[in-house]
Amino acid sequence: MRTIDLAVTPLRELNSELHRQSDGTNEAQWEILNPRGQHAVAVGVDAPIKVAVRGPVGYYGGGMNKKATITIHGSAGPGVAENMMSGSVVVKGDASQYAGATGRGGLLVIEGNAASRCGISMKGIDIVVRGNIGHMSAFMAQSGHLVVLGNAGDALGDSIYEAKLFVRGSVKSLGADCIEKEMRPEHHQHLATLLDKAGITDVKTSEFKRYGSARKLYTFNIDNADAY
């Protein structure tokens, strides 16, 4: 296992080392010590490696991740796993605003709470939050899944496209064009798969409600033609 202590090694050196890894690398396990809230820790990794970050990170931790399994043993600042492509990022603590923003794929698990704008403009990423999420989450979410075991804040799913949202607790308010939808068998099945991937075994899919687009805002309606 490679251990890099950010109290000694500059961040750029760490990230260049991580960027040197590719498919089939022999250095499959990495441990990063003393991140102390630094920004851009382990961003842009493009290799199937495991990275354990021992402590809180600042902005964009694990951003743009491809293939790697990154675990942050602490809290994460704004934009954790932003634009993730594949692989997974697990945050053991809380995450600040816009967690998983614009993510294209992969799995983001937040074991604590996520703040506002979680999953904003998500495009294929799956996000599972054990705690609560803040206001304006899944704003303009295009595809992928957002699973919340706790409560959601104001304006959930405002101007949502085709992302699917599952919330177990309360939703303070729904955003424009976001509605509650029926949980059909395929949704239970898919939710069960996501919970399983996130390592969550203590909740049932029947405890969740599904939310998604009413498809009245982003699709053209001939009755509105006069408005243009």
Question: Which residues sit at the interface with another protein, rule CB under 8 A?
Answer: 36-38, 56-59, 75, 77-78, 93-94, 96-97, 115-116, 134-135
Return the number of the residue (36 or 184) whose C-beta is nearest another protein: 36
Rounded least distance, CB 56 to another protein, Å: 5
* CA 80/CA 33 separation, integer angstroms: 18
Angle of CA points 96, 83, 53, to nearest 5°:
55
Give the sheet arrangement for strand 178-181, strand by strand: 2-5, 29-33, 50-54, 69-72, 88-91, 107-110, 123-129, 143-148, 164-167, 209-213, 178-181
Q: Which two tokens stand for residue 122?
A: 């998500």
Rounded least distance, CB 115 to another protein, Å: 5
Return the number of the residue (83 or 96) whose C-beta is nearest another protein: 96
Rounded least distance, CB 58 to another protein, Å: 6
Return the number of the residue (135 or 210) whose C-beta is nearest another protein: 135
Return the number of the residue (115 or 167) whose C-beta is nearest another protein: 115
Rounded least distance, CB 2 to another protein, Å: 23
Rounded least distance, CB 93 to another protein, Å: 8
- Helices (H), ranges, the chain: 11-19, 185-197
Rounded least distance, CB 15 to another protein, Å: 17
Rounded least distance, CB 116 to another protein, Å: 6
Q: Do 95 and 80 form a contact (C-beta atoms < 8 A)?
A: yes
Return the number of the residue (117 or 168) whose C-beta is nearest another protein: 117
Return the number of the residue (109 or 155) whose C-beta is nearest another protein: 155
Return the number of the residue (74 or 144) whose C-beta is nearest another protein: 74
Please state the separation of Cα 96 from the chain's center in Å.
11
* CA 80/CA 60 separation, integer angstroms: 5
* CA 120/CA 170 separation, integer angstroms: 19
Angle of CA points 18, 88, 143, to nearest 5°:
125
Q: How many CB atoms lie within 10 A of CB 197?
A: 13
